Each structure stands twice: as C-alpha cells, then as structure tokens.
A and B are shown apart, each in its own frame.
Chain A
Amino acid sequence: MFDIVVKIVITVGVLAGVMFIVPGLIWLERRLLGAFQNRCGPNRVGPFGVLQVLADMIKIFTKEDWIPPLSDKPVFLIAPAIVVTTTLMSFAIVCFAPHITVVDLGIGLLFFLAMSSLGVYGVMLAGWSSNSKYSLLGGLRAAAQMLSYEIFMGLSLTGVVLMSGSFKISDIVNAQKGMWFCVPQFFGFLIFFIAGIAETHRLPFDLPEAENELVAGYHTEYSGMKFGMFFVGEYIGIALISALITIFFFGGWLGPFLPGIIWFLIKMFIFIDIFILLRASLPRPRYDQLMSLGWKVMLPLALINIVVTAGVLLYRQ
C-alpha cells in the first residue's frame, strides 16, 4: 500500500515538475536570448519578468481557437495532443535520483526511442491535416528529418548500452560511477546531442517550422491553446533531451556532496542553456545540407563509434 502511494506521489510530482519547468524554460529562454543579444528580455511583469509567462498563458487561453474549414478535423485536433503526450510519456523513464522515477523499465532506453519515434506522428499529422501547403511542407520536412535523425540517435546510444550492458536507466547511470560516459563515448555524446536538437526541431535544425520560408511550418494553421500545445511539447522535448544527455553521458544524479536530484537538475539546466545558446548563435542550414550532414557524417560516425566501442570491449574481455 505504501509503495503505491509513493509511486503515485512520484508520478504526480514528475508530471507537475515537468509542467512547471515548461513556463520556467520559456522565461529562461527569453531572458537568456535577451542577454545574448544585449537586450533585457521580459522584465516588467512580476520580479524579473517571471509572471510574463502567466500573462502569455492567459492570452493564449482566451484566443480564438480556430479550425480551418477544409482541414481533417479529428486529425487536426489530435495532432498537438500526440506531440505533448509522447514527450511526456518519455519522461516516465527519466531517473532523477535513485528510485525517483515513474517507472524504471528494463527497456527504458528503448521506450524513449519508441516514444520519440511516435512523436513524429504528431508533427506529420499536424502538417497533413491542416490542408495548407506550408503546413504540408513543414510536416514533410519534419517527418524526413526526424526519421533520419532517429536512426543516429539510436545508434549513438548503442555505445552506451554496450558499455553499461543494460537498457535500464538506473543501471546505465550506476555504470558511470567510475567515469562518465561522455569521455569514452565522446562521439556518441556529440551525435546524440545533434540528433537531439534535430529531434526537438530546435534551431539551428528547426526546418519544419522555418519561419522565413514556411510561415510557421506544420503549425501554421494552429491557434490558441492548440498552438500552445506544440509550444509546450517543444519545451518538454528540450528538457527531455537535456535530461537524457545527463543520464546517458554525464552520470545522471552522480556527484559529490549535493543530493542526487540537485546534481541532476544542475547538469540538465546546463544542457538546456546550451540549447538556448545554440539557438542564439547558429543560422539554419539548408534542407539538403541538413540531410547530407545526417547521412554522410553522422551515420558513418555513429557506426564507427559502435564498431570501435564493441572492439575495445571484446578485446578487454
């Protein structure tokens, strides 16, 4: 009985924590972008502009929720929900500290990959059902980009699985007690990071919503809270990828003195900041450049990484 209560508390806590992180991230991103560009960012509503997000939320909730008459209505409605649900589902396997996790699956890593693959549907269906050429182009791009980067994402994590000998998140973290995987799996980390940016379609890889060519890409026709759901999904995605980089390559909750969850959050927020820094500094590549980077550089690198890792591990046995 006690176990169940603890599980429910943790589940609700993780859900609430993630939902609380999203407005925090929006605020953090706007402030940081401001600082990077010698501006101030939002600083009027509340202390340091923290309540700006609240004001924006009130605005977005009271906006007209318009559905294009020629759209595929049920699909149009369900697409934003898919985006948010799949990213939220992935958070179920994230281990914030020993035993602080919704479910420590034996195949946790595979579960994450499966869920991020499902996330493609949300974006693709949104682009398809909007019945607008910009949305369709955005959806097409999103599908191709996310599918191809999905492959390197999985391959880059193979090295981690080989070294820790388990798909279980807690085992992976505990296997890093001697040395964080970012050292022996440096290329794996790089590939996972780049693939993570492409998966969350953040700048510089935000081609599905490239605003200067495709208006807003797959969510051109969305308004009100349905648009907000895509927004929330994107920020949960950033938090998720940062959390997973922390887990797979930077020793999760491991660290001296401070409690595990604090270490986890520190590492996670460092990567979130790097996400924002990349957005502030890098221009968007052309679409064919993005694809050729993926297939001609990332894929061979990931494969070489697996071969070398496996070879070294076999040699040591």
Chain B
Amino acid sequence: MISIFRTILLVCKHLFSKPDTIQYPEKKPKIPARWRGRIILSRDPDGKERCVACHLCSAVCPVDCIALQADEDENGRRYPAFFRINFSRCIFCGLCEEACPTYAIQLTPDFEMCEYDRQNLVYEKEDLLINGPGKYPDYNFYKVAGVATGVKDKGQGDNEKPPVDLHDLMP
C-alpha cells in the first residue's frame, strides 16, 4: 500500500527534472570516439593503402556485407582490387575492425548515412578509403612485417633482426 504511494510520488518527481532527450537535428549528440559508425579504410603514414586483402574482415562479418578481391603490385605488396561494403546489411558490430591485422578497416563516430535509394548504401573502395591513418597515426604494417614489398628490405624493420643465413646455423 505504502509502496504504491511511494511509486506515485517518485514518478511525480520526474515532472521537475529535465528530459534526457537530445533534440537531434538541431542539437548534435556528443558521440564517443570509439563509437561504431560508418566504416572506413585507412592509409598508413606514407599514404599507401593499409589493407592487405587478407579477407579476414569478410570472413568474420556475421552478415556477409564485405566483399573484396586480392591483388598484388610489382613489389609483391597485396592490396584489394575492389573492396565493397553493403551498408544496408551492415550491423555495425565492429568485428571487422577487431579482425583486421593491419588496422586498415576502422569504424568511425559517424552515423548520418541515410539514403533514399537502397543501392546508394553500397560503398565501393573509393567511397571507403580516407586520406589519413585514422585511429592509429604511426602504425605502418609493412614496417613491422617480415616481408619486403618495397617499403623496407628484409631485416630493416622496427624490432627486426637481420636475416640469418640458414647454412651458418650449424650446431
């Protein structure tokens, strides 16, 4: 019985508190930096594409909205020939970002991507690719990777020992 009146009083108190609603189109909400919004493809500090077309993102994607095809340039550096994300399917789970070994695919705090035409939600590589390194400004995959693709020679990378001649390694 008392709890009923207590409930009524508590609810009545809310009459005097400010609404939590943010009047969206006029007032933009403050979005945290790790918000999972529109997906982008970043470049490394040298301005080259980070994506190595390993297909991990498209494999992990639970709704299969990522499609890409691998290609290789004359130096042996892998890159996607095309990279397509169907945002009408994307659920913004962020698994692609977690799976990416090179920090290439990243989710950004942008959600304003409505379209009247569903087909416009299919983003191609030129729509996804940005000019900067995104959340990881200093990271360059080929500087720490063991392969030589024209970025650095074998053994020249960060924390990388020079290559060993296997025939010297006799016990």
- Give complex CA distance A278, B11 in Å: 9
Assess whether B118 is interfacial by the CB under 8 Å rule.
Answer: no
Q: Is the CB of A282 within 8 A of B7?
A: yes
**Measured between alpha carbons, how far is A70 from B4 in the docked complex, in Å?**
43
21 contacts between A and B (CB under 8 A): A34-B19, A35-B14, A35-B19, A36-B11, A36-B12, A36-B14, A37-B14, A38-B18, A38-B20, A39-B19, A39-B20, A40-B19, A40-B23, A277-B8, A277-B12, A280-B11, A281-B8, A281-B10, A281-B11, A281-B12, A282-B4
Contact A38 B17 (CB under 8 A): yes
Additional 11 contacts, C-beta under 8 A, given A36-B11, A36-B15, A38-B18? A35-B15, A37-B14, A38-B14, A38-B21, A39-B19, A39-B20, A40-B21, A277-B11, A277-B12, A281-B7, A281-B10
Interface residues of A in 18-38 (CB under 8 A from B): 32, 34-38
Interface residue count on the B side (C-beta < 8 Å):
14
Specify which chain B residues have a CB less than 8 angstroms from the CB of A280 in the assembled complex.
11
Closest chain B residue to A274, Cβ basis: B8
Across the interface, do A282 and B20 meet the contact criterion of CB distance under 8 Å? no
Whole-angstrom CA separation of A141 from B107 in the bound complex:
53
Residues of A close to B10: CB separation below 8 A: 281
Q: In the bound complex, what is the Cα–Cα distance between A280 and B9 (angstroms)?
A: 11
CB distance from A297 to the nearest CB of B (A): 11
Residues of chain B whose beta carbon lies under 8 Å from any beta carbon of chain A = 4, 7-8, 10-12, 14-15, 17-21, 23
A: which residues have CB within 8 A of B? 32, 34-40, 277-278, 280-282
Nearest to B20 among chain A residues (CB) is A38
Residues of B within 8 A of A34 (CB): 19
Contact status A278-B14, CB under 8 Å: no
Q: Are B8 and A39 in contact (CB under 8 A)?
A: no
Shortest Cβ gap from A204 to chain B (Å): 9
**A38 surroundings in chain B (CB, below 8 A):** 14, 17-21
Q: Determine the distance from Cα of A282 to Cα of B9 in the docked complex, in whole angstroms.
A: 11
A38-B20, A39-B20 known; A282 and B15 CB under 8 Å? no
Give the distance in Å from the alpha carbon of A37 to the alpha carbon of B7 in the complex: 13
For residue A281, which residues in chain B have a CB less than 8 angstroms away from its CB? Answer: 7-8, 10-12
Minimum CB distance partner of A35 in chain B: B15
Distance in Å: Cβ of A49 to nearest Cβ of chain B: 12
Chain A to chain B: the 5 pairs with minimum beta-carbon distance, closest first: A281-B11, A281-B8, A40-B21, A38-B20, A281-B7
Q: How far, in Å, is A283 (CB) from chain B's closest CB?
A: 9
Closest to A280 in B: B11
Q: How long is the Cα–Cα vector from A278 to B15 in the complex, in angstroms?
A: 13
CA distance A282 to B6 in the complex (A): 10
CB closest residue in chain B, given A279: B11
- Give every chain A residue within 8 A of B8 (Cβ-Cβ): 277-278, 281-282
Once bound together, how far apart are the Cα atoms of A280 and B17, in whole Å? 15
A134 vs B10: C-alpha distance when bound (angstroms):
34
Q: Looking at the assembled complex, report how far the CB atom of B51 sits from the nearest CB atom of chain A, in whole angstroms.
A: 43
Smallest CB gap from B8: residue in A: A281
* Chain A residues whose CB sits within 8 angstroms of the CB of B20 once the complex forms: 38-39
**A37 cross-chain contacts in B, Cβ below 8 A:** 14
Bound complex: CA of A281 vs CA of B19, how far in Å? 17
**B59 vs chain A, min Cβ distance (A):** 41
Closest residue of B by beta carbon distance from A41: B19
- Given the complex, which residues of A lie within 8 Å of B14, measured CB to CB? 35-38
B residues less than 8 Å from A40 (CB atoms): 19, 21, 23
CB distance from B9 to the nearest CB of A (A): 9
B23 proximity list for chain A (CB < 8 A): 40
What is the CA–CA distance of A280 and B14 in the complex, to the nearest angstrom?
11
Q: Which residue of B lies closest to A43 (CB)?
A: B23
Q: Which residues of B contact A36 (CB under 8 A)?
A: 11-12, 14-15
- Cα A39 to Cα B144 in complex, Å, equals 51
* Complex Cα gap A65–B11 (Å): 38
- Kindly provide the distance from the CB of B2 to the nearest chain A CB, expressed in whole angstroms: 14
